[in-house]
Amino acid sequence: MPRKSVNYKMGRENRKGPAMEFARERKNGWEYYHAPELTARGVVHGFFTRDCPSLLSDNESRSFLDVFSLDRLVTLHQEHGDMIHTVGPADRPDTGDGILMFKPGIAGVIKTADCMSIVLADPAFPLTAIVHAGWRGTLKRITSKAVDMMAERGAARGRITALLGPSIRGCCYTVGAEVREAFLKEDFPEGIFHDRDGLTYLDLKDANTWLLTGSGVTTILDTGLCTFCSEDPLFASYRKGARNERQINFVGIK
């Protein structure tokens, strides 16, 4: 399948960052979105569509590692919390919602079906991380925690690039009054919510962009893809009925 380039304008929070865009590619049956400029700098990453394997079998895992020239992958039993594991060659964490990698050849994998996955990379160091940021993880500031952990290991906040993966977006993500109250109690800005037709909508992109900029990250690239209302549909959406489906998101160092 020929490579398809998909262009997205960067949001107002991201104007200090370099002009990057996403591309949609297919490699041996694995279809994914990535930022080619970051890939060229040795950060192997992707946000996969729902047509890709789920990594449930050893054969699927081996295919994934071979296609992306990696040695091993790390997955977690995700809990909608803020636990982030630092993973080297011998580490095999079990539960949590974030993975930080400081050695080449390791892929940190997060599975989603409406929640946002966020890739963080300082390719000059090199150091990478990926987090699972649904509303609960976002409320617990898992994204800020990941940036802080990278900085503690030597990454420069101003060099970190953040990639915001497909998720249910502010156009479709209705929440209850208790969710709004919880975020405002934790000093998130009112602007991450909007009201329409008597319903309240939460924008995970805006909430996590606010966390990232507050943590010193100025290069933020958003796929702009909504898992609920995207065409095809490209992605699994829990709220749209895909209760048992997940798509794969990953990052590693080449």
CATH number at 151 reads: 3.60.140.10
Distances (CA, A) of 217 to 54, 163, 212, 251: 31, 11, 5, 18
Structural domains of the chain, count: 1
- Residue 58 CB contacts under 8 Å (≥ 6 apart), including other chains: none
pLDDT for the residue numbered 242: 82
Average of per-residue pLDDT across 56-81: 93
Structure tokens at 2: 């020929």
pLDDT surpasses 90 at 51: no
**Per-residue model confidence (pLDDT) at position 14:** 39
Q: What is the pTM of this model?
A: 0.91
Give the rounded percent of residues in the chain with a pLDDT score beyond 90: 80
pLDDT, mean of residues 14-31: 74
Interval 115-166: pLDDT, tens = 999 999 999 999 999 999 999 999 999 999 999 999 999 999 999 999 999 9
Range of the domain at 77: 4-253
Structure tokens at 67: 């296609």
Model pLDDT, residue 100: 98
Whether residue 212 contacts residue 221, with contact meaning beta carbons closer than 8 Å, is answered with no
3-state secondary structure of 64: helix
Phi then psi dihedrals of residue 37, to 5 deg: -65, -40
Instruction: Describe the crossing of helices 204-214 and 142-152 by its angle, rounded to 10 degrees.
Output: 30
Q: What's the rounded Cα separation, in Å, for the pair 142 and 96?
A: 11
Q: How far is CA 154 from CA 1, 87, 123, 128, in A?
A: 40, 15, 12, 12
Spell out the residues 6+ positions from residue 71 whose beta carbon is closer than 8 angstroms to its own.
Answer: 65, 105, 106
